[in-house]
Homo-oligomer: A and B are copies of this chain.
Amino acid sequence: MRIPIAEAGRHAGETVEIAGWLYNLRRSGKIVFPLLRDGSGVLQCVAVKSALPEETFETLKNLTQESSLVVRGKLRAEQRAPGGYEMDVESAEVVQRVAEDTPYPITPKDHGIDFLMDHRHLWLRSRRQHAVLRVRHEIIRAIRDYFDSNGFTLVDTPIFTPAACEGTTTLFPVQYFEDETLYLTQSGQLYNEATAMAFGKVYCFGPTFRAEKSKTRRHLTEFWMVEPEMAYATLEDVKRVAEELVVFIIGRVLENRRPELAVLERDVSKLEAAKAPFPRISYDQAVKILQAKGSEIQWGGDLGGTDETLLAEDYSSPVMVDRYPAQVKAFYFQPDAERPELALGVDVLAPEGYGELIGGGQRIHDYDLLVRRIREHDLPPEAFNWYLDLRRYGSVPHGGFGMGVERTVAWMCGLDHVRETIAFPRMLYRTRP
């Protein structure tokens, strides 16, 4: 019976078949130890010369890294083996042998990052990359499960967007047949506001695109973002849901992905320490704290990456910063009732210098104010006609946020660059493979 390595524990004492690839090979005289991977796990096999036909033993002994093979044998508990089980090989069949003269390019020696990125289609087979992408899958599942079980309807928003709503400088243009230029979405928010008025609570979750010429460890040109939006909601509701979501994700990752975090040598105590209630500070307070720490920020300016790191370092949980100056936020932010120069926005900053995980807030629901803001921001009013309809027909206070998947993965995995958080990263100078 063929089984995945992940299920070895259920078949101890049985003779089974595993189909996989040679991950590593140790030789010790008349015994060889092929380490097999099959995508679900890694299994150490034991091939003893005296117990096998000579051809089989020689084949295994000389097998090249990443050759594909099917082995049969009895499974046995072995505490010292990775995964806790070993197989005593009874027979083996090589599916494709990697040729000696074109060996697998990724060897245990150190490779430069460009080499690894050029071989990303193979690099994904390594334990470390494997672990990162499994944590990513867990995070995505957790996000969907959170919203699906809390009354949100998934309503995906379009990738092709007609209007260049907030200027075209960071938008990617697409030639849409002969005579139209469209742009790739940067955010589903405006559409979410429409669907929130139809469904009450919604989320969209898909790829988004930013043509930023940033070559930092936090930027990709193509990244995945989840964006919830809620009708009849205020900034406080937005903060509550953001906090609940992050706590839920951490819980799931700690519950299901400890082996992967161990492969990544992640200090899990840092994740365990992130607990609700998250610290909440205002932008005013943030500026004072930053100035006391030597930042050159002045009231009215946006927080830079270094500021975010400086602020977050005082806390073991993500910190929520709210009520930014309206001038640093987009046109659609609801102003604070008592201090209209402030926008009812909130950013959630990850600990350990991972920066902004979440940005959101309460949107303007008043038609006249929104029209005024569109004018003040020099935006083309005709592009917003449909968006203004949402304030003509049953407008209500509402809000939501966006959370970037890659930064969340980077934080949970403790990675120093987002390029490893997605299978095939797209950056300023990286578009292949």
Chain A residues proximal to chain B, CB less than 8 Å:
4, 6, 19-22, 38-40, 66-68, 70, 95-96, 98-99, 102, 104, 119, 121-122, 124-125, 129-130, 133-134, 136-137, 140-141, 144, 148, 151, 153-160, 162, 172-177, 180, 182, 184, 191, 194-201, 206-207, 209, 211, 213, 221-222, 224, 231-232, 365, 386-387, 389-397, 422-424, 426, 428, 431-433
A428 contacts B177, CB within 8 Å? Answer: yes
A191 contacts B423, CB within 8 Å? Answer: yes
Q: Among B39, B158, B197, B397, point to the contact of A426 (Cβ < 8 A).
A: B158
A395 contacts B172, CB within 8 Å? Answer: no
A39 CB contacts on chain B under 8 angstroms: 153, 196-201, 231
Complex CA gap A19/B232 in Å reads: 7
Q: In the complex, what's the smallest C-beta–C-beta distance from A96 to chain B, in angstroms?
A: 5
B394 contacts A66, CB within 8 Å? Answer: yes
Name which residue of chain B comes closest to A155, CB basis. B423
A134 contacts B153, CB within 8 Å? Answer: yes
Q: What would 12 A/B residue contacts be, using CB atoms closer than 8 Å?
A: A66-B393, A102-B392, A121-B194, A121-B387, A122-B393, A125-B198, A141-B148, A159-B159, A160-B221, A180-B431, A182-B431, A207-B207
A158 CB contacts on chain B under 8 angstroms: 222, 423-424, 426
Given A38-B200, A206-B206: 15 more A-B contacts, CB < 8 Å = A4-B200, A39-B198, A39-B200, A66-B394, A95-B394, A95-B397, A96-B395, A121-B387, A122-B393, A137-B153, A156-B224, A158-B426, A160-B221, A176-B221, A191-B423
A98 contacts B392, CB within 8 Å? Answer: yes
B157 contacts A423, CB within 8 Å? Answer: yes
Decide: A121 near B390, CB < 8 A? Known: A207-B159, A395-B96: yes
A154 CB contacts on chain B under 8 angstroms: 136-137, 140-141
Q: In the complex, what's the smallest C-beta–C-beta distance from A220 to chain B, in angstroms?
A: 10
A121 contacts B151, CB within 8 Å? Answer: no
Complex CA gap A199/B391 in Å reads: 48
Name which residue of chain B comes closest to A391, CB basis. B96
A144 CB contacts on chain B under 8 angstroms: 141, 144
**Which of A70, A156, A206 has most chain B Cβ within 10 Å?**
A156
A133 CB contacts on chain B under 8 angstroms: 153, 155, 199
B431 contacts A160, CB within 8 Å? Answer: yes
Complex CA gap A190/B221 in Å reads: 21
B176 contacts A431, CB within 8 Å? Answer: yes
**Which of A20, A137, A211 has most chain B Cβ within 10 Å?**
A137
Q: Among B19, B122, B423, point to the contact of A389 (Cβ < 8 A).
A: B122
Complex CA gap A104/B390 in Å reads: 11
Decide: A173 near B174, CB < 8 A? Known: A133-B153, A160-B431: yes
Q: In the complex, what's the smallest C-beta–C-beta distance from A411 to chain B, in angstroms?
A: 19
Decide: A432 near B121, CB < 8 A? Known: A156-B423, A392-B102: no
A174 contacts B177, CB within 8 Å? Answer: no
Q: Among B200, B395, B432, point to the contact of A95 (Cβ < 8 A).
A: B395
A21 contacts B197, CB within 8 Å? Answer: yes
A160 CB contacts on chain B under 8 angstroms: 221-222, 426, 431
Q: In the complex, what's the smallest C-beta–C-beta distance from A342 to chain B, in angstroms?
A: 23
